[in-house]
A and B are shown apart, each in its own frame.
Chain A
Amino acid sequence: MPARPGTLDSCLIRIVCPLKRRSRQLATATHPLPRNQPWSHPPASTSIDNDQVARLASRPLHLLTLADLVRHGRPPLSASALFTSANFTLSLLPIRLAHRIQALRNLPFIVVSNPHISRIYNNYIHSLSTLLPYQERQINTLEEEIQFTEVMADLVQTHADTIPILARGFLECRKYISPADVTKFLDEHLRARIGTRLIAEQHIALHLSSQPHCNNTNNTHYPQDGSSSCIGVIDTALRPAEIIRHCETFVSDICELKYGARPRVIINGQPSTRLAHVPTHLEYILTELLKNAFRATVEAGQSREPIEVTIAASPSPTVPPVPDAIARTSPSLQQREEEEEAITRATPPPLPPPPGVVTIRIRDHGGGISPTNLRNIWAYSFTTFGEEEVLDLSHNGNGNMDALNAISGANSSGESSSLAGLGYGLPLGRAYAEHFGGGIVVQSLWGWGTDVYLRLRGLGEMG
């Protein structure tokens, strides 16, 4: 499977950033690692002062923008740029983790006592403990930076399965906490998680793309001639049409396995549109939306009807709109290509013009969403699949593989691949879209089909 820019491959990290011990025992952590510890009761002690958590949690959260992530420059970064990135990351993460810990602590006792929830809770404690030693220091040497990146890798890995684990936990606790409270907690928590992971992953990606020994490992992620459109996990020349086709293949496969039918997807509008965004996010959102559309289409007996995806890009403010008949590509692409040639690697990107909006409309003929269900589509763990299917699913997320998973392969965020959802696809998809100022709107035509509007804000023209 060809590697896509921005995906985290822990194997790659291990090749590129060797350390004496690859296991979880980090020099500074005194807290026993949660994965090896069966918890049947709430954690008795932590290695973190409550003071620390309170102090950090009282600091305001920084609102992450795409500009933040690219401000350190285009890879490969110089050593000093890498240090800046590391220190910037360091300034943000402990506060974010502390806020999450506090939010978890405020959940009802009986909920946090659940082994799954408590496991997630301990993960956060553990991660924060790995960062506390850096509190008073700045990162100034390559060695420190490597070590720090290792900590980041551990953080990302530890929290990879948070969602299915939390989902299972809340499902088991549904008698003790209302769906509204669950939604409220998860909305905040998962949105924060998106930002936290992004910061960590971005630093790791920048680190990896800046290492001289990248050349030696046949690394296709980050070609050294600067022709890559990637800045860490961000692709500045992301083509949604490409992602849609990729997701379509994936979803079609599992749809065919489950239903024996394979609706097709038509892409119209402005398929050559490009924007600057995070490919993994877009992939997740589109996969979830396509899953919904495919399922509805097939279950309504309309599998011959195509699913229509329309891509629209708001016209660039600096370039007058070019009529479709004359230019095949959007003006923004032409301008971007010219700019990319002119720019050198070392200089930080110029301030981007105001961001454009890309709208992707997914239209299906699957019968629509009933008014009753429509009220609940944004609630976490609302799913129209039966409970057994869902419990089965979250169980699979913990390691048991069935044929579906084995064939299609779980994606990087740990969500197992099945059309059946945990009921997280829509609300989480919206959280991803809204993270950089976009959103998702659902218009149901009950009795006919559904129109879903995904709006994305990129960085506009990226130098």
Chain B
Amino acid sequence: MPLPRPGSWSLEKAAWSTRPLSFKRPIASATTPWRPAVVLDEWVLKEARPISLRQLTFFGRTLTENRLLSSANYVRTELPTRLAHRLRDMQTLPFVVVTNPHMSHVYNLYYKAFETLRRITEIKSVEDNEQYCKVVSETLQEHLTVIPRLAMGVLECQDLMRAADMDRFINTLLRSRISRRVIAEQHISLTETFNSAWHFPNAMPQVDPNSEFVGEVFLRCNAREVVEACWDRASTLAKEAYGPSCVLPDIAIEGHLDATFPYILSHLQYVVGELLRNSIQAVVERRPMLTSGPPPIEVLICEAPQHVIIRISDQGGGIPNEVMPELWSFSKGPRSHTHLENLSQVPKMAATMQELNSSHRTSTGDGKNRSYDGSLGSLTSRPPNLRLGMGLPMSRVYAEYWAGLLEVQSLEGYGVDAFLQISKLGNRNEQLSTRASMDAV
């Protein structure tokens, strides 16, 4: 494929647009397909329109065909816009970073998705929407490998960029990724709700006002129940990893046990799961066993008018001082070498989870048995001794996505307190990075 001549981009653009989408140069580590930047420029100029949890649920409560199509068209333009911003970010990274095989893999995935999604014309009918949902679903599936590959790319490129810049880039990228998946999955979920009512008019009404789920949003996440469920899961995994003879700590939950709020359940389960996993691991691996058994992990749930705080306290010996400065970084840390090795084991897990994902879409009204978002699922069910080194930074991205907070205080030599603050009302917008704030940086 000849390189475009300077000034001839319009001709090349015509040529490019007639190429079948499946055509791709084999990805070599030193070269990536040359694509004209003009199309991207147009989309980069558009601003993303952030949404709030409340809007997501409110919108989905009364589903009519019009609303569904409206939702579809919102997603139709939002996805390519948000993708375009991230693509431009990647393009401005150092050449040597983007040509890293892992980073390049992610870049090409994103570009392919962008090219596919931006071409979709206005959705005017339910059939159009069906087709659209299919395309989006496929893209979501394809992108399951993004997180592990990205993480590996970041670790391999440690010395090629300033850690602070890299962290900022990754945080923005991940935040955007969550946002795209949230709106995409929400729409797909609403489509399913709509369809099930459409095809079975005698079944439950389109909208069950008492339904606990609106799409992916679980209206009544009870903090205590979520903690208990995550605890069960984490303990089971720990037992598998450490063997049946290992004595696990107990959990003690106190505080405002009735605290309930709307949230995307899979996000909450991921973050709480990560924190509990860290605590169990610390207690089991680092604290010598006392004759009285391992000290319990204490969870406190605190409810205030505008937020709920979950505090998880363990006596696992604390976080060593040398790790603290890089605790929230994706790219640094004294153990990054081990993490890199471990990460290479995760993509295989993503592949197996894909099979499980085909049964991911349960019918609405199923309530609490929702399984995870596919990529989160693969991460959440990895064995606890597979240290990836990104549980905390990832958790923070998820926590902050709906304007929450995640903070960790270490008492070195004793244990750790983790504070997860969740905005309860659901009226805070997604925390995206706008172009303005990116340019200002």
Contact = CB atoms under 8 A, between A and B. Distances in A.
Nearest to B320: A314
Contacts of A269: 411, 414
The 7 closest A-B pairs by CB, nearest first: A312-B414, A312-B411, A314-B412, A448-B302, A447-B304, A323-B288, A359-B411
Contacts of A446: 302, 304, 307, 309
B255 interface: yes
Contacts of B185: none
A315 B410 CA distance: 13
A323 B413 contact: no
Interface string A252-277: 00000000000000000110000000
Given A357-B321, A446-B304, A441 B413 contact: no
A443 interface: yes
Interface of A: 269-270, 310, 312-315, 321, 323-325, 357, 359, 361, 368, 371, 441, 443, 445-449, 451, 453
A315 B411 CA distance: 11
Contacts, number: 72
B303 interface: yes
B412 A359 contact: yes
Contacts of B411: 269, 310, 312, 359, 361, 453
B302 A270 contact: no
A160 B376 CA distance: 59
Query: Which one of A310, A443, A448 has the highest number of Cβ atoms from chain B below 10 Å of its Cβ?
Result: A448
B194 interface: no
Interface in B272-317: 288, 290-291, 300, 302-304, 306-307, 309, 311
Interface in B181-225: none
B430 interface: no
Nearest to A323: B288
A359 B413 contact: yes
Contacts of A453: 409, 411
A270 B414 contact: yes
A315 to B, nearest CB: 6
A165 to B, nearest CB: 36
B410 A451 contact: no
Contact of B300 (A315, A323, A371, A448): A448
Given A314-B412, A453-B411, A443 B318 contact: no
Contacts of B232: none
Given A314-B321, A445-B302, A446-B302, A359 B410 contact: yes
A312 B409 CA distance: 12
30 contacts: A269-B411, A312-B318, A312-B411, A312-B413, A313-B412, A314-B320, A315-B412, A321-B288, A323-B288, A357-B321, A357-B412, A359-B318, A359-B412, A368-B302, A443-B407, A443-B419, A445-B300, A445-B302, A445-B311, A445-B419, A446-B304, A446-B309, A447-B302, A447-B303, A447-B304, A448-B256, A449-B302, A451-B409, A451-B417, A453-B409
Query: Which one of A323, A368, A447, A451 has the highest number of Cβ atoms from chain B below 10 Å of its Cβ?
Result: A447
Interface in B139-153: none
A422 to B, nearest CB: 27
Contacts of A312: 318, 411-415
Interface range, B side = 20 to 34
B417 A443 contact: yes
A321 B320 CA distance: 13
B427 to A, nearest CB: 15
A441 B407 CA distance: 11
A325 B321 contact: no
Contacts of A447: 256, 302-304
Given A310-B414, A312-B414, A448 B255 contact: yes
A269 B414 CA distance: 7
Contacts of A445: 300, 302, 309, 311, 419
A72 B274 CA distance: 50
Given A443-B407, A448-B255, A325 B413 contact: no
B255 A441 contact: no
A119 to B, nearest CB: 41
Nearest to B414: A312
Contacts of A449: 302
Contacts of B419: 443, 445
B290 A324 contact: yes
Contacts of B309: 445-446, 448
Interface of B: 255-256, 288, 290-291, 300, 302-304, 306-307, 309, 311, 318, 320-321, 407, 409-415, 417, 419
Contacts of A357: 321, 412
Given A323-B290, A443-B407, 8 more contacts: A310-B411, A314-B413, A323-B288, A441-B409, A443-B417, A443-B419, A447-B304, A453-B411
B304 to A, nearest CB: 4
A358 B332 CA distance: 25
Contacts of B417: 361, 443, 451
Contacts of A310: 411, 414
A324 B304 CA distance: 38
Nearest to A360: B411
Contacts of B300: 445, 448
A216 B433 CA distance: 72
A40 to B, nearest CB: 50
A312 B318 CA distance: 9
Nearest to B286: A321
Contacts of B409: 361, 441, 443, 451, 453
A269 B320 CA distance: 17
A447 to B, nearest CB: 4
Nearest to B306: A371
Contacts of B291: 325
A445 to B, nearest CB: 4
A313 B414 CA distance: 7
A270 B407 contact: no
A324 B413 CA distance: 11
Contacts of A323: 288, 290
Nearest to B254: A448
Query: Which one of B288, B291, B321, B414 has the highest number of Cβ atoms from chain A below 10 Å of its Cβ?
Result: B414
Contacts of A270: 413-414
Contacts of B304: 368, 446-447
A444 to B, nearest CB: 9
A268 to B, nearest CB: 9
B235 to A, nearest CB: 24
Query: Which one of A323, A324, A357, A368 has the highest number of Cβ atoms from chain B below 10 Å of its Cβ?
Result: A357
Nearest to B412: A314
Contact of B413 (A315, A448, A451): A315
A195 B291 CA distance: 47
B382 to A, nearest CB: 29
Nearest to B303: A447
A244 B304 CA distance: 31
A270 B318 CA distance: 13
Given A314-B318, A445-B309, A447-B302, A325 B414 contact: no
B395 to A, nearest CB: 17
B205 to A, nearest CB: 38
A359 B302 contact: no
Query: Which one of B307, B309, B413 has the highest number of Cβ atoms from chain A below 10 Å of its Cβ?
Result: B413
Nearest to A273: B413
B257 to A, nearest CB: 12
A87 B150 CA distance: 58
B57 to A, nearest CB: 24
A434 to B, nearest CB: 16
A323 B320 CA distance: 17
A310 to B, nearest CB: 6
A313 B413 contact: yes
A407 to B, nearest CB: 36
Contacts of B256: 447-448
A200 B303 CA distance: 49
Contacts of A313: 412-413
Nearest to A447: B304
Nearest to A312: B414
B392 to A, nearest CB: 16
